[in-house]
Amino acid sequence: MTADTWWRTATVYQIYPRSFADSDGDGVGDLRGVISRLDHLVALGVGALWLSPVYPSPQDDNGYDISDYYDIDPMFGTLADFDELLREAHARGIRVVMDLVVNHTSDEHPWFVESRDPGSPKRDWYWWRPLPNNWGSRFSGPAWEFDDRSGEYYLHIFSRKQPDLNWENADLRQEIHRMMRWWLDRGVDGFRMDVINFISKPVGLPDAHLTDGTRYGDAEALYTNGPRLHDFLQEMHREVFAGREAVLLTVGETPGTSVDQARLLTDPSRRELDMIFQFDHVEIDQGRDKWDIRPLDLVALKRTFERWQHGLSDAGWNSLYWNNHDQPRIVSRWGDDTTYREESAKLLATVLHLHRGTPYVFQGEEIGMTNTRFRSIDDFADIQSRNYYTDAVTRRGEPADVVLDALRARSRDNGRTPMQWDDTENAGFSTGTPWLATNPNFVHINAAAQLHDPASVFAHYRALIALRRTEPLVTDGVFTLLLPDDPAIYAFTRTHAERGLLVLANFSSDAVAVPDGAMAGWPGSPLVIGNYPDSPPTLHRSVRLRPWESVVVRRGTG
Ligand code: NOJ
């Protein structure tokens, strides 16, 4: 990383292709749809797009189960379409980051098909055992499946159609490096690496501690950040990225990772990754798992961000996100998606984007898309949600309405409803029947209605993204949390010498007074960005924030 590395001032936009734009009317988004909407990204001002998987796949987990690393699924288009997307994006100054899913393949990948033969040289490319250990799958049930052909069990941390690759095998690693170079040579600008900190497992695959009420152990601590993770990543860097570091972006998805581990993973001198997606902040409102929902504890959220901001201030780099294809919509989760939808969507954006790191915007977040309505389990498509329902209701006998309520709040399908482009049929996403029902609120929440409205959520995101490009304080200013114990106000500064930015945000539907002490030296500072149409042009001495109001003010010039 050099001081002028492009992704320090850029914002990345995540596209979930099956829900973004459908060019051929089959109800599933595709690459030509993405190409047709690139100007939306230009209008927003992002520097890169991250494309969730478009490789051939049986789609058991919507493409995170890959059966061929060297092609495009016909559902999404062709390699020629992909090359055109690269050209069109690059022509607009937008880089393209591919999703790299190499902790596991599909069970229909030829490697796994071969591996099922106990005599095959590929046998060792997956984890086969005569008897399973007690690990549970992240998609409910055991993490092992018995295979008749082999007479043994194979490990799958996700669905049974996603067998885990054995990275201990050097031939496998070489094959993955080769594939990555092939995409880079084609012109892609980096990788978002799916659960990359799961690739090193303790080879003995020891049993995990049993979790309450299940037969399966919680093995996350055993398979995350395993013994050879850093070796594998450094080898990947040597084999794939060396010499191309300055132009690429590598971001690892790393559940269960501490700040100390993140420093190791992202310190540029160690040559592993540029940044990671940590999970501490998105797990703050859950108990034993994501379905065990707790109210947001703002104080804990602030403390978490503070820890990450400080922990990676002198080494490594943060990624900043509220949303992606695995999370419910942030405005429904921690904002107010009824009375104060626009205000709270803008406030959440302000708070996130004013931290140090690279922000990620998930499609639809920039227009304040919300969670959707699910009437029954039949309305869900996501394998994790459906498996959880079956397991909880059928096996554990939990009340269906309680389980459904958890799914309504937390299901990944909330983030996967079609992008809301305009107020025409299916929100302008498709002329066919969308694979997942469009959120009915598209008639008033859509991109067309916001693009030219200077007071829109979209305009607010555009302004934040532009501020990051032009204001070095956003990139590098020192982060200081103010009012750490205030239950409603999120306040912090970003400073460098005499210059600084102050962020004040009211995470509540009541008006609140900001304690004067928090603002010494700031009254009179001019407004940089506010989320009410009549935000005061300068900061008053006694500030009262209206419901979900946020302001950013500036001190010093130059
Ligand atoms: C993380 C991805 O973001 C998620 O969508 C997927 O289900 C799992 N990894 C398995 O690939």
Would 126 be classed as within a structural domain?
no
What CA–CA distance (Å, rounded) separates 413 from 380?
Answer: 7
Q: Which residue in this structure is represented by tokens 């990383």?
A: 1
Residue 231, amino acid: D
Write the residue with the smallest CA distance to atom 5 of ligand 1. Answer: 326
Q: Could you tell me the distance, in angstroms and rounded to a whole number, from the CA of residue 130 to the centre of ligand 1?
A: 27
Taking alpha carbons only, the member of 414, 428, 425, 421 closest to residue 381 is 414
Q: Could you tell me the distance, in angstroms and rounded to a whole number, from the CA of residue 52 to the centre of ligand 1?
A: 10
Q: Are residues 424 and 551 in the same domain?
A: no
Q: Are residues 201 and 264 in the same domain?
A: yes
User: Is the pTM of the predicted complex or chain greater than 0.85?
Assistant: yes
Would 432 be classed as within a structural domain?
yes
Phi, psi at 427, each rounded to 5°: 60, 20
3-state secondary structure of 30: coil
Ligand 1 atom index nearest CA of 157: 10
Q: Are residues 220 and 166 in the same domain?
A: yes
Domain end call among 414, 432, 464: 464
Instruction: Tell whether ligand 1 has an atom less than 6 A from the beta carbon of residue 60.
Output: no
Q: Are residues 171 and 261 in the same domain?
A: yes
DSSP 470: H
CATH number of domain containing 46? 3.20.20.80
Structure-token pair, residue 206: 């020891």
Q: Are residues 443 and 515 in the same domain?
A: no
What CA–CA distance (Å, rounded) separates 417 from 434?
Answer: 9
Would 288 be classed as within a structural domain?
yes
Would 472 be classed as within a structural domain?
no
Q: Could you tell me the distance, in angstroms and rounded to a whole number, from the CA of residue 100 to the centre of ligand 1?
A: 11
174-177 contact pairs (CB < 8 A, 24+) = 174/239, 176/102, 176/236, 177/235, 177/236, 177/239, 177/240
Q: Are residues 387 and 242 in the same domain?
A: yes
Q: Which residues are catalytic?
A: 194, 253
520 burial type by CB count under 10 A (0-12 exposed, 13-18 middle, 19+ buried)? exposed
Residue 124, amino acid: D
Q: In tens digits, what is the pLDDT along the chain, a chain of 558 residues?
A: 455 699 999 999 999 999 999 999 999 999 999 999 999 999 999 999 999 999 999 999 999 999 999 999 999 999 999 999 999 999 999 999 999 999 999 999 999 999 999 999 999 999 999 999 999 999 999 999 999 999 999 999 999 999 999 999 999 999 999 999 999 999 999 999 999 999 999 999 999 988 766 678 889 999 999 999 999 999 999 999 999 988 899 999 999 999 999 999 999 999 999 999 999 999 999 998 999 999 999 999 999 999 999 999 999 999 999 999 999 999 999 999 999 999 999 999 999 999 999 999 999 999 999 999 999 999 999 999 999 999 999 999 999 999 999 999 999 999 999 999 999 999 999 999 999 999 999 999 999 999 999 999 999 999 999 999 999 999 999 999 999 999 999 999 999 999 999 999 999 999 999 998 888 889 999 999 999 999 999 999 889 999 999 999 999 975
* Total domains present in the chain: 2
Give the range of the structural domain holding residue 482, as residue numbers without chain letter: 477-555
Write the residue with the smallest CA distance to atom 6 of ligand 1. Answer: 64
Instruction: Tell whether ligand 1 has an atom less than 6 A from the beta carbon of residue 61.
Output: yes
User: Residues 127, 133, 138, 140: is their CA dihedral positive or negative?
Assistant: positive
Across 366-516, where does the E strand assignment appear? Answer: 478-482, 489-496, 499-506, 512-513
Q: Are residues 406 and 500 in the same domain?
A: no
Domain end call among 404, 431, 464: 464
Q: Could you tell me the distance, in angstroms and rounded to a whole number, from the CA of residue 438 to the centre of ligand 1?
A: 22
Q: Tell me how far the alpha carbon of residue 181 is from its chain's centroid.
A: 24
What CA–CA distance (Å, rounded) separates 537 from 526?
Answer: 6
Q: Are residues 450 and 490 in the same domain?
A: no
Within 8 A by CB and 6+ apart from 87, the residues are none
Would 469 be classed as within a structural domain?
no
What CA–CA distance (Å, rounded) separates 290 from 436?
Answer: 22
> Is 186 in contact with 163 (CB distance < 8 Å)?
no
Ligand 1 atom index nearest CA of 103: 11
Would 136 be classed as within a structural domain?
no
Q: Are residues 350 and 493 in the same domain?
A: no
